[in-house]
Amino acid sequence: MVTSSDMPTELAEPASASLSGKSGVLPRQDIRTLVSRGMVRSSSGTIDESQYQPASLDLRLGDKAYRVRASFLPGLNKSVEQVLEDLAQDEVSLEHGAILEKNCVYVVELMESLVDLPATISAFANPKSSTGRLDVFTRLIADRSEVFDSVAGGYSGKLYAEISPSSFSIKVRKGSRLNQLRFRRRGGSQEEASGFRVSDRDLRLVHERTPLVDGPATIRNGLVFRIHLAGAGDDEIIGYQAQRFTDVIDVDRVGQYAVEDFWTPLYTRGRKRLILDPHQFYILASKERLHIPAGFAAEMAPIDPSMGEFRVHYAGFFDPGFGVGADGAPGSRGVLEVRSHEVPFVLEDGQVVGRLAFEKMAAEPDALYGEIGTSNYQGQALKLSKHFRS
């Protein structure tokens, strides 16, 4: 159990720290309160300071992975462990590192678990930015759950990560971090998974006070963003396409890999468009530069399928403070992981490809994105994951 005595003095929560307050996404100081009260625990006995993000907590892989026949959900009457007894094909130790092969599905018990989560606080998971940029499909599974990436209020139990590398085989080990958990506190009149998103009307007011993008904002069921495919010249790189036959990527090695060994750069060549191959994975960027104000968080959602047979396919989470430039203006592009479905599809420069759904924070975090040591993508333009040399 993690208690205040296990934590450095400057990080320990005061005895009077309360879990009550406004509804919204919990900032990291409230996540620390959950940890200090033993509601978030680790099998190692401690939560590392580097796991705390402004509005989420990084989750760590445990000591073994199970290769399974297929992805699954346990349903209301089973634990994940019970399902694994039937579906697991192999058990792989992660103590000293192991390779997870692409196009295979693995389930790993996480080091973190939840104990007596308050009924008014639920949890939701996302892949970390670096995970999505490696085309590693990662989802959270909880016992007796009918949905991925969601933990109901009042939950007690283990947490698991489903991991399926798509473009590259990866090496992981006990303690590797592929996804993150955020928490929402709801008011008495709110449903557990609804009533949190900022309305378009309120979002326009936010943009008037603190610009969300570096130009006119298109707000329609969230903040709409468009694809950037027109560079300043024919030699400008506007995207990357994953190579199909590459070496393994160790997810804990930062800045160690040569881009040309894993990616094929894409150039404008005056065309201002890109034809997506349905068998390929692409890293592209938004035309807009973004900024997430301190009192808000945002989640990337795919555009309506009726707009095209493609998907910006990892629902990324944007922490408060992401994208702020030196002058306070929006300064970071959104990096997009894109894959076409079934048929080739033409993307044109400026085409709408997705939107950001904003939520209010329950309180402003005590440190914003860009102010902590793990802010790898502040000020980004088109940027691959942190594993590649710039």
- Whether 309 has a pLDDT exceeding 80, the answer reads no
Residues β-bridged to residue 123:
151, 183
- Whether 14 has a pLDDT exceeding 60, the answer reads no
- Split at pLDDT 50, 70, 90, the class of 230 is confident
How far is 360 from 338, CA to CA, in rounded Å?
27
Percent of the chain residues past pLDDT 90, beyond the cut: 75
Beta strands 345-348 and 56-68, pairing class: unpaired
Average pLDDT over residues 307-319: 67
- 107 closest CA partner among 129, 85, 131: 85
The Cα angle at residue 163 between residues 56 and 315, in degrees rounded to 5: 45
- What pLDDT does residue 311 have? 61
Determine contact, residues 112/181, Cβ cutoff 8 Å: yes
Higher pLDDT, residue 331 or 303: 331
- Split at pLDDT 50, 70, 90, the class of 166 is very high
Q: What is the per-residue pLDDT across 84-121, written as a single tens digit (0 to 9) for each?
A: 999 999 999 999 999 999 999 999 999 999 999 999 99
Q: Supply the mean pLDDT for the chain.
A: 89
Burial (Cβ within 10 Å: 0-12, 13-18, ≥19) of residue 131? buried
- What pLDDT does residue 305 have? 59
- 67 closest CA partner among 84, 90, 85: 90
Average pLDDT over residues 277-304: 89
């996480």: which residue's tokens? 110
In order of 106, 221, 266, the CA distances from 79 in angstroms are: 16, 36, 45
- What pLDDT does residue 302 have? 59
Average pLDDT over residues 128-156: 95
- What pLDDT does residue 276 have? 92
- Split at pLDDT 50, 70, 90, the class of 8 is very low
How far is 70 from 87, CA to CA, in rounded Å?
7
Burial (Cβ within 10 Å: 0-12, 13-18, ≥19) of residue 204? middle
Two tokens, residue 79? 């634990």
Phi, psi of 221 (to 5 degrees): 60, 40
Distance of CA 48 to the CA centre of its chain: 19
- What pLDDT does residue 329 have? 86
- Whether 193 has a pLDDT exceeding 60, the answer reads no
- What pLDDT does residue 192 have? 58
Please name the residues in contact with 103: beta carbons below 8 A apart, sequence gap of 6 or more.
Answer: 164, 165, 166
Determine contact, residues 145/73, Cβ cutoff 8 Å: yes
Average pLDDT over residues 16-36: 88
- Whether 200 has a pLDDT exceeding 60, the answer reads yes
Local structure of 109: helix, strand or coil: strand
Local structure of 305: helix, strand or coil: helix
- What pLDDT does residue 376 have? 79
- What pLDDT does residue 390 have? 79
CB atoms within 10 A of CB 87: 15
How far is 267 from 337, CA to CA, in rounded Å?
17
Average pLDDT over residues 304-312: 58
Q: What is the per-residue pLDDT across 47-76, written as a single tens digit (0 to 9) for each?
A: 999 999 999 999 999 999 999 999 999 999
